[in-house]
Each structure stands twice: as structure tokens, then as C-alpha cells.
Amino acid sequence: MSAVGYCARLKAIGVNLFRAARVKRALNALSAAPETLAAAVWSAIWAVKERFLRPWHWLSNIFKAATENMPYTATIAA
């Protein structure tokens, strides 16, 4: 009977260790949430910014002065 009690205590200790590890992981995940939220917001801002700036750069290349585009036209014609 003492061997059964010993095994039951070991099993209870193991279950408590697994529960403590699960709680620790959950608390770590919650504490890291503001950092990951900030990273997600910055990546969204960057993506939107790039979507607006890319066409702006294309338009600025189209409407450049002819003297600025002159070296490129010479190399294209050659």
C-alpha cells in the first residue's frame, strides 16, 4: 500500500509541474503581447506606406525634366 501512495504522490507532483509550466507559458505569452502588437502595427504601416510611395515614384520618373532623362534615352537608343 505504501508503494501505491508513493506512486500517487509522484504522479500528483508531475501533474502539478505540467500545470505550472502551462501557466508560465501563458503568462509569458500575455506579457509579450504588447511587443508583438507594436511589431504588427509597424509592419502594417510600412506595407501601406510602400503601396502609396511606389506609384508616386513611378509618376515622379515620368514627369522628370527632359534633361534629367536624356542620358537614359541615349543608352536606350544605342
Q: Using one digit for the tens of pLDDT, what is the confidence trace for 24-66?
A: 988 887 776 666 777 778 888 888 887 787 777 777 777 766 5
User: To which residue does cell 525634366 refer?
Assistant: 65
What is the CA 24 to chain-centroid distance, rounded?
A: 23
User: Are 38 and 75 in the same domain?
Assistant: yes
23 in the same domain as 39 = no
Q: How many domains does the chain have?
A: 2
d(CA 24, CA 2): 33
**Same domain for 48 and 13?**
no
Question: What's the domain range around 49?
Answer: 34-78
Do 63 and 52 lie in one domain? The reply is yes
Confidence of residue 16 (pLDDT cuts 50, 70, 90): very high
Identify the sign of the CA torsion 51, 52, 57, 63.
positive
Domain check: are 11 and 47 in the same one? Answer: no
* Count of positions (residues) in the chain: 78
The total of other beta-carbon atoms located within 10 Å of residue 74's CB is 9
16 and 48 share a domain?
Answer: no
The confidence score (pLDDT) of residue 64 equals: 66
